Amino acid sequence: MCFAVTIFESREDIRCAKVVKGRSINLALSHRGRQALKHIGIEEKIVSMGIPMHARMIHSLNGKQSPIPYGKKGQYILSVDRANLNKELLSVAEAYPNTKLNFNHKLLDWSPETGAMTFHGPDGNEKEFHADLIVGCDGAFSATRKQFLRRSRFNYSQTYIPHGYLELTIPPRNGDFAMKPNFLHIWPRHTFMMIALPNLDKTFTCTLFMPFEDFEKITTGNELLGFFQKNFPDSIPLIGVDALMRDFFRLPAQALVWVTCSPYHVLDSCVLMGDAAHAMVPFYGQGMNAGFEDCIVFNEIMDQFNEDFGTSVSMRSHVNSRYFLFRKFLDNTLHFVMPKTIIPLYTMITFTRTRYRQAVIQWQWQNKVK
Amino acid sequence: MCFAVTIFESREDIRCAKVVKGRSINLALSHRGRQALKHIGIEEKIVSMGIPMHARMIHSLNGKQSPIPYGKKGQYILSVDRANLNKELLSVAEAYPNTKLNFNHKLLDWSPETGAMTFHGPDGNEKEFHADLIVGCDGAFSATRKQFLRRSRFNYSQTYIPHGYLELTIPPRNGDFAMKPNFLHIWPRHTFMMIALPNLDKTFTCTLFMPFEDFEKITTGNELLGFFQKNFPDSIPLIGVDALMRDFFRLPAQALVWVTCSPYHVLDSCVLMGDAAHAMVPFYGQGMNAGFEDCIVFNEIMDQFNEDFGTSVSMRSHVNSRYFLFRKFLDNTLHFVMPKTIIPLYTMITFTRTRYRQAVIQWQWQNKVK
């Protein structure tokens, strides 16, 4: 069956944009996400533009670096550029003759009963559109989800962790990466940590995760320098003192939110996917991968039920509790910083499509019998 | 200090209303709630219009009734009429020369930065109002709270339990109560239960709590009668077969929601109280009592900080985590149906102003050392 698909995006077409806004530029692509890309024929292309990370590289206070592999030999995750990935996905979508893209359309409201949506269009006017099925893939602060919240018996939770994040850059050194590129570099420091992921242009993007109250203590350049000298001394020459001073104070630390909800659908007219349904904190690198896997799962269910929307949408909602359990398990801890204890679980999550729930159960069992 | 207080209520003045809409007509008033009423001088008046319930009365399947006291001799909770209580509170508020009541005013939006509120007024027009402090006491589905949800780092959770509720009535028999009046009657039946509270007019209001999926199984009068004959046989002659058939199908079962959020304030311009901040399921009889206690707590803090709004509002938000813990502890269980195991905790919650959190901790400790 061939569906007429219309995509509405609130931002401009990033393929033409001069400045790309948005969150972190790095994403960690793993097995679940790659499987979805394979379905639409761009796995190889995206992988070729990604940088394999075979291990974590733990930076001690004294500057010593110790690798901890992600899985077995040959298993790796990929550092991919968010903007590039978005651009490729838009081009793939646009190539389908039955798909139409609309940019600069901001969803104002929609009706579960009629499937009518109202957008604020690029010309400043309101615009109506009707769909048999609305798929809300509009992120952690989903506009689609607002309509869900107005209905009875919709369970919803948004939880901000005490940590904020802030991005810094390590430029190339002598035209090459300033650190070993095929690693996810981590500076674990108890209640806070910094990570760095490699980019194709031989820079690294560093992300500092720290409780907001600690960010608030750093208000001057001297305090900042003191903090980095004490906690991340080896990173200072890599980032550069001037760049550190400039970039740290450019933007306030950004918040990190968990979102869970249930059900994911309203009637048979709308279903939520990705961060709109289950936004996660980034420490497990699962946000994008889980969102992409949603697409595979929905596809599988649509095949199974002969592309009947009603049945597929409600079946789709039955496979959801696993995210909730996964979230409960991870909760607000920074699992990244304790890689040794979580490698078996991490391997299942990252290198297989084992259901999140099953992975957690299996891992708990392994820990018990040890 | 004397504040100019303006009250906005979305409904009409129930003192003039012909038909009073709203949730359950019964409320269980206990120590926390009475303390607040004492502060405003109407404890005795409300108590005189309430019916003391000294114990639960457990109805077995075979019709046997067994009392289980609420606390020590002399300790009791009061069945009070929601509409009467609301009317008295409005009259007390109106009697203050610095207080003005506005009915039929529906909050559309407000601004945390300016304190400006927009209402849909009784004449159908929008109306602006400005306040130095907005106190949102607008219930589980608070309109005030919507503005909180638009801001970053606001933690929010709404969780519907699988149970719905439905109300039935036991009329007087020969001009008197059809069952012993000074009890909260309970028919515990594993995954569901019915309770009955006495009213001043010698009726009882019965509330059936049951999973929605079980409500959905009862679609005909015969199914209903079979269900009552099997589970609540002694209640059938009390309610009356005709009334049962009529009232059961009048309205669908209503949902029950837990709401938790944090913080309870935005800047120093708004604070949430009562169900708007921490809506609870009714099994512990704490919704109204906790809401009233919020008023005492806020009053105490205002005294302590010389009625400085900013300090008081943020201090107010520090005493909140106890509700969250209390909720976590009770979660979705029907503690009403296991009165024996919870009497020590129930006593602390109901007959004292022991902090909810402290009560739970103390009770857990008691259980350990037993």
pLDDT in tens, A171-212: 999 999 999 999 999 998 888 899 999 999 999 999 999 999
pLDDT recorded at residue B368: 55
- In A238-277, the residues whose Cβ lies within 8 Å of chain B are 255
pLDDT recorded at residue A78: 94
The tens digit of pLDDT for each residue in B110-127 reads: 999 999 999 999 999 999
Rounded to an integer, what distance in angstroms lies between the CA atom of residue A5 and that of residue A48? 29
- How far CA B275 is from CA of A68, A252, B14, in Å, comes to 49, 33, 20
> B5-55+76-158+258-369 maps to which CATH number?
3.50.50.60
| Segment A276-305 mean pLDDT | 88
SS (H, E, C) chain A: CCCCEEEECCCCCCCCCCCCCCCCCEEEECHHHHHHHHHCCCHHHHHHCCEEECEEEEECCCCCEEEEECCCCCCCEEEEEHHHHHHHHHHHHHHCCCEEEECCCEEEEECCCCCEEEEECCCCCEEEEECCCEEECCCCCCCHHHHHHCCCCCEEEEEEEEEEEEEEEECCECCECCCCCCEEEEEEECCEEEEEEECCCCCEEEEEEEEHHHHHHCCCHHHHHHHHHHHCHHHHHHHCHHHHHHHHCCCCCEEEEEEEEECCEECCCEEECCHHHHCCCHHHCCHHHHHHHHHHHHHHHHHHCCCCHHHHHHHHHHHCHHHHHHHHHHCCCCHHHCHHHHHHHHHHHHHCCCCHHHHHHHHHHHHHHC
| Segment B307-320 mean pLDDT | 63
| Segment A274-294 mean pLDDT | 88
Rounded to an integer, what distance in angstroms lies between the CA atom of residue A55 and that of residue B120? 59
Residues of A in contact with B158 (CB under 8 A): 149, 154-157
Rounded to an integer, what distance in angstroms lies between the CA atom of residue B315 and that of residue B186? 40
Residues of B in contact with A152 (CB under 8 A): 160, 255
pLDDT recorded at residue A330: 45
β-bridge partners, B101: B7
Q: Which two tokens stand for residue A332?
A: 């607000």
Region of residue A26 (phi > 0: left; psi between -120 and 50: alpha; otherwise: beta) = beta
User: Domains of chain B: which residue ranges?
Assistant: 5-55+76-158+258-369, 159-255
Q: Which two tokens stand for residue B249?
A: 């199908």
Instruction: Say how many CA atoms lie within 13 Å of B39 toward its Cβ.
Output: 17
Rounded to an integer, what distance in angstroms lies between the CA atom of residue B280 and that of residue B356? 13
The tens digit of pLDDT for each residue in A237-270 reads: 999 999 999 999 999 999 999 898 989 999 989 9
Q: Are B34 and B47 in contact (CB under 8 A)?
A: yes
The whole-angstrom distance between residue A65's C-alpha and the CA centroid of its chain comes to 27
Count of H helices and E strands in chain B?
14, 18
The tens digit of pLDDT for each residue in A310-352 reads: 777 665 554 444 444 444 444 333 344 344 444 456 666 666 7
C-alpha closest to that of A280 among A326, A218, A243: A326
Residue at B135: amino acid letter: V
Question: Pick from A156, A159, A255: which is nearest to B158 by CB?
Answer: A156
pLDDT confidence tier of residue B162, bands split at 50, 70 and 90: confident
Helix axes B241-248, B221-231, angle to 10 degrees: 120
Residue A337: Cβ-neighbour burial (10 angstroms; 0-12, 13-18, 19+):
buried
B242-278 burial, b at 16+ Cβ within 10 Å, e below that, comes to eebeebbeeeebebbbbbbbbbbbbebbbbbbbbbbb
Mean pLDDT of chain A: 86
Residues of A in contact with B157 (CB under 8 A): 156-159
Assigned CATH topology for domain A5-56+69-158+257-369: FAD/NAD(P)-binding domain (3.50.50)
C-alpha closest to that of A184 among A342, A75, A54: A54
Q: Are A158 and A141 in contact (CB under 8 A)?
A: no
Count of Cβ atoms closer than 10 Å to residue A363 Cβ: 21
Range with the poorest average pLDDT among B13-22, B297-306, B355-364:
B355-364
Quote the radius of gyration of chain B (alpha carbons, Å).
21
Interface test with B, best of A146, A160, A165 (most B CBs within 10 A): A160
Asked if the Cβ–Cβ distance from B157 to A158 is below 8 Å, we say yes
Q: Which two tokens stand for residue B361?
A: 């901790």
The phi and psi torsions of B200 (rounded to 5 degrees) equal -60, -30
| Apex A257 CA angle, A251 and A259, nearest 5 | 150
| Segment A44-50 mean pLDDT | 95
- The distance in angstroms from the start CA to the end CA of chain B is 51
The tens digit of pLDDT for each residue in B324-337 reads: 444 444 433 334 43
Rounded to an integer, what distance in angstroms lies between the CA atom of residue A44 and that of residue A37? 9
CA distance A147 to chain B (A): 13
CA distance B255 to chain A (A): 7
Q: Kindly tell me if the per-residue pLDDT of B301 is higher than 90.
A: no
Interface test with A, best of B23, B147, B155 (most A CBs within 10 A): B155
The tens digit of pLDDT for each residue in B83-110 reads: 999 999 999 999 999 999 999 999 999 9
Question: Pick from B155, B159, B160: which is nearest to A158 by CB?
Answer: B155
The tens digit of pLDDT for each residue in A140-167 reads: 999 999 999 999 999 999 988 888 999 9
**Contacts (Cβ under 8 Å, ≥6 apart) of B38:** none
The tens digit of pLDDT for each residue in A9-30 reads: 999 999 998 765 555 668 999 8
Which of B160-164, B217-221, B294-298 has the largest mean confidence? Answer: B217-221
State which residue of chain B sits closest to A153, comparing Cα positions: B160
Q: Is omega for the bond preceding A263 within 30 degrees of 0, making it cis?
A: yes
Range with the poorest average pLDDT among B102-111, B145-154, B313-322:
B313-322
- Which DSSP state fits B43? H
- In A124-183, the residues whose Cβ lies within 8 Å of chain B are 149, 152-160
CA distance B288 to chain A (A): 22
Asked if the Cβ–Cβ distance from B158 to A153 is below 8 Å, we say no
Between B320 and B206, the more confident residue is B206
